C-alpha cells in the first residue's frame, strides 16, 4: 500500500459508521443498545432493528425517560431474568439483589476512547443529571459477573471477544477471532493474567463477528476509503456476539 494509513478513532466510528439518517447508509450490525451524546446532550438512541440494520429511535432522547428502564432491562436479561419492554420500574432493585451494588449497569464511552463502567447508583445519577461534555456515548452493559478480561493497563475490558480484520500482502481481507480473559493452555480457572486471550473456535461466534466487522468495513469503504485494519470488541448476549465498541480502524 502506497498511502500511509490514517487512524480513525472510536468516536469517528460512532458518528459516521454505525448509523445515518438515510436508512440505506446504516450498518447491518448487531449492536448493544447505546445513546450517542454530543456536548453533554443525548442525541440518538441506537439499536439493531428487526431488519438487521442499526436504527435510531424517533424523537427526543432523555436518559431519565425510557433509557434508564431499557438499560436495566438489558442488564437483567444478561442475568437470565426476562423483563418485557415497558414492564415498569423495579429493575434496579432486582439488579442490586442479583448482581450487587457495584456491578456495572452501563458503560460510558469518553473522548479519547476510555470506557468507564457505572454501578447502579452512579447510573441513576447520570440519568438524573445528564451526560458531561466528554462523554460520546452511554451504552447498556450486558457483561455480568465480569468479562474476565483486562486491558493492558489493568482496567476492566467489558468484552469477552475480540475480532481482527486486516489486509494481507496482496490486499485480501483476513479475519481472526479471539476469546478474552482466557489463559492460554488452560481449561479452567487460572492464576495467569486475565488479559490473556486464545483463538475462538466457535464457528457460530466467529462467523457472526466476521459478518459484523465486514459490515462496518463496508461502511468505511462506501466513503471511498480503504480499511487496512480494524479491531472490534464483542459481548455475548443470548446466543450471539453483539458489537460493543472498537479500538479504531485505519
| CA–CA dist 8, 12 (Å, integer) | 6
| pLDDT, tens only, 187-230 | 444 444 445 788 999 999 999 999 999 999 988 887 777 888 89
pLDDT, one tens digit per residue, over 30-59 is 999 999 999 999 999 999 999 999 999 988
Say whether pLDDT at 86 is over 90: no
pLDDT at 5: 67
Contact status, residue 7 vs residue 43, Cβ threshold 8 Å: no
pLDDT 10s digits, 108-141: 999 988 888 888 899 999 999 999 999 999 999 8
Residue pair 27/51 in contact (Cβ under 8 Å)? The answer is no
For 133-164, write each residue's pLDDT tens digit.
999 999 998 875 444 455 554 456 678 899 99
Q: Write down the residue that cell numbers 494481507 correspond to.
A: 168
Burial letters for 24-49: b for 16+ Cβ neighbours within 10 Å, e otherwise?
A: eebbbbbbbbbbbbbeeebebbbbbe
User: If we measure between CA atoms, which residue out of 196, 219, 208 comes closest to residue 13?
Assistant: 219
Paired sense of beta strands 161-167 and 135-140, if any = unpaired
Amino acid at each position: 500500500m502506497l498511502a500511509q494509513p490514517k487512524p480513525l478513532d472510536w468516536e469517528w466510528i460512532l458518528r459516521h459508521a454505525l448509523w445515518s439518517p438515510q436508512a440505506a447508509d446504516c450498518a447491518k450490525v448487531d449492536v448493544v443498545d447505546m445513546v450517542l451524546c454530543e456536548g453533554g446532550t443525548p442525541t440518538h438512541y441506537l439499536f439493531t432493528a428487526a431488519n438487521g440494520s442499526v436504527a435510531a429511535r424517533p424523537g427526543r432522547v432523555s436518559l431519565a425517560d425510557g433509557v434508564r428502564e431499557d438499560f436495566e432491562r438489558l442488564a437483567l436479561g444478561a442475568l437470565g431474568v426476562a423483563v418485557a419492554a415497558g414492564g415498569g420500574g423495579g429493575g434496579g432493585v432486582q439488579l442490586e439483589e442479583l448482581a450487587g451494588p457495584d456491578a456495572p449497569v452501563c458503560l460510558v464511552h469518553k473522548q479519547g476512547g476510555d470506557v468507564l463502567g457505572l454501578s447502579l447508583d452512579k447510573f441513576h445519577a447520570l440519568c438524573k443529571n445528564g451526560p458531561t461534555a466528554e462523554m460520546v456515548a452511554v451504552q447498556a452493559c450486558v457483561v455480568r459477573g465480569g468479562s474476565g478480561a483486562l486491558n493492558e493497563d489493568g482496567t476492566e475490558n467489558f468484552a469477552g471477544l475480540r475480532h481482527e480484520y486486516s489486509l494481507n500482502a496482496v490486499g485480501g481481507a483476513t479475519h481472526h477471532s479471539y476469546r478474552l480473559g482466557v489463559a492460554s493452555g488452560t481449561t479452567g480457572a487460572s492464576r495467569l493474567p486475565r488479559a490473556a486471550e486464545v483463538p475462538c473456535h466457535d464457528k457460530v461466534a466467529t462467523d457472526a463477528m466476521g459478518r459484523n466487522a465486514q459490515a462496518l468495513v463496508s461502511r468505511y469503504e462506501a466513503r471511498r476509503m480503504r480499511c487496512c485494519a480494524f479491531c472490534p470488541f464483542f459481548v455475548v448476549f443470548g446466543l450471539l456476539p453483539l458489537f460493543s465498541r472498537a479500538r479504531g480502524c485505519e
